[in-house]
Amino acid sequence: MAKPRVFLSSTFFDLQQVRADLERFIREQGYDPVLNEHGNIPYGKETKLEDYCYKEISNVDILVAIVGGRFGTSSKSSPDSISQTELKTAYELNKQVYIFIDKGVYSEYRFYLSNKGNENINYTYADNIKIHEFIEFVEALPNNNTIHPFETSMDIVNFLKEQWAGLFQRFLQEQTRIKEINIIKGVEDTAKTLNQLVKFLTEEKRDKDNAINEILLSGHPAMLQVKSLLRISFRVYFTTWEELDALVRAYGYKHEEDPHPQSEEFNWYSDRNNVNTTLSVKAHLFVDNKLRVLTKDEWRDDYITLATVSVPDDDDDLPF
């Protein structure tokens, strides 16, 4: 199982006991400590030894920086010390960093801030003014730069216990929150899918309704009735009052007066061969001049009727 790796960054000889105490504490937590003196950092032959320390930081999860009164070994790649460069590397890699500064050094740092530029001051706790300059650099960082003074290694151990317990508790909360977020996201995705489905069905229904209407109109009982009554040999099709009127007139019928009467039916008349014929169509078959969709079950034959009346000849009686 993967374990968090914790890099201990500090000078060695003045903080040797602190490093040993922290190594033991880190192992007790079930984590892997990374210490230079124990061979936890693999070295190669391609570059400087200190560069491998910086590279190893990319493989750890946490860096614990301990600042004492010794500047330590200067880095060959920067004006800082190796331990200071390790801390800067951790910042560049956005690692979780904990910074502990010897309480005497940190108190002296306040004195340094009040006397910056005075080269005649000899500092008691820091053997190099660069230590205070580096602390000033760390304090100016925008984040991940909380500093904790310490007197003994137990001060560091107790603080890390609290911090790592808090990190674990936050992790558990975030896991719960992730589950809640996933549920919410699932609901949002479902709602989105339902909205898309409703939109699709609405459009589909609209198209389907139009298709159904066209199918019902193509076999409308009114068309079949007109075809039968007027004895038309070809297919009859009309969807508006105007189309019906044009069809009936083409067969010699004339419409009465107002083509859009307010009566309950429309009437067309024909007078041929001494036969008066009246085609009557119920007005409610049209709504806004458009043919209503009716099924055969809804149809009644008296909606469209044809009445004929024979007219006797008016020839004069022949004389005897």
pLDDT in tens, 169-209: 888 888 777 777 777 877 777 777 677 766 666 566 555 66
Rounded CA gap, 11 and 82, in Å?
Answer: 8
Both 13 and 121 in one domain: the answer is yes
What is the reported pLDDT for 167? 86
- Higher per-residue confidence, 54 vs 180: 54
Q: What is the pLDDT of residue 281?
A: 93
pLDDT digits (tens, 9 = 90+) for 82-126: 999 999 999 999 999 999 999 999 999 999 998 887 878 888 899
What is the per-residue pLDDT across 212-269, written as a single tens digit (0 to 9) for each?
A: 666 667 778 898 899 999 988 888 899 999 999 999 998 889 887 655 546 788 899 9
Q: Does 118 map to a domain?
A: yes
Do 176 and 123 meet the contact criterion of CB atoms below 8 Å apart? no
Q: Who wins on pLDDT, 54 or 182?
A: 54
Residue 141 sits in the same domain as residue 49 = yes
The two tokens of residue 1 are: 């199982």
Instruction: Decide: 77 and 22 in contact? Cβ < 8 Å.
Output: no
Q: Mark which of 105, 128, 151 sits at the end of a domain.
A: 151
Single-letter residue type at 280: S
Note whether 134 and 12 are same-domain residues.
yes
The H or E element containing residue 269 is strand 265-272
3-state secondary structure 165-219: HHHHHHHHHHHHHHHHHHHHHHHHHHHHHHHHHHHHHHHHHHHHHHHHHHHHHHC
Do residues 91 and 97 make contact, with C-beta atoms less than 8 angstroms apart? yes
Same domain as 50, residue 134: yes
Mean pLDDT of the region 158-165: 92
pLDDT at 203: 63
Q: At what angle do helices 82-92 and 129-139 cross, to 10 degrees?
A: 10
Give a yes or no: residue 254 inside a domain.
yes
What average pLDDT does the segment 270-274 reach?
Answer: 82
How far is 107 from 239, CA to CA, in rounded Å?
Answer: 98
Both 30 and 118 in one domain: the answer is yes
- Domain-terminating residue out of 136, 151, 166: 151
> How far, in Å, are 135, 152, 279, 281, 312 from residue 271 at the CA level?
117, 125, 12, 18, 13
Three-state SS at 267 = strand
Which domain, by its residues, includes 299?
221-310
The C-alpha angle 270, 289, 296, rounded to 5 degrees, equals 80
Percent of the chain clearing pLDDT 70 (strictly above):
88
> pLDDT by residue (tens digit) across 34-50?
998 877 788 777 788 88
Tell which phi-psi region holds residue 148, choosing left (phi > 0), alpha (psi between -120 and 50) or beta.
beta
Assess if residue 159 is contained within a domain.
no
Residue 320 lies in a domain: no
- Rounded Cα distance between 282 and 226, Å, is 12
pLDDT band at 320 (very low <50, low <70, confident <90, very high): very low
Pairwise CA distance, residues 156 & 226, whole Å: 102
C-alpha atoms less than 13 angstroms from C-alpha of 93 in its C-beta half-sphere: 19
What is the C-alpha radius of gyration for the chain, rounded to an integer number of angstroms?
50
232 part of a folded domain: yes
Task: Check residue 315 and give its pLDDT.
Answer: 55
| Residue 45 is assigned to a structural domain of this protein | yes
pTM of the model: 0.54
pLDDT (mean) for 261-281: 84
Count of structural domains, the chain? 2
Domain boundary among 151, 179, 204: 151
Q: Tell me if 24 is assigned to some domain.
A: yes
Same domain, 140 and 250: no
Quickly tell me which residue has 């390790």 as its tokens: 86
7-22 pLDDT, tens per residue?
999 999 899 999 999 9
Per-residue model confidence (pLDDT) at position 117: 79
Q: Is residue 129 part of a domain?
A: yes
Is there a contact between 156 and 18 (Cβ–Cβ < 8 Å)? Answer: yes
Q: How far apart are CA 112 and CA 117, in angstroms?
A: 9
Query: What is the Cα–Cα distance from 93 to 146, expressed in whole angstroms?
Result: 17
Residue count of the chain, please give it: 320
What CATH number is associated with residue 29?
3.40.50.10140
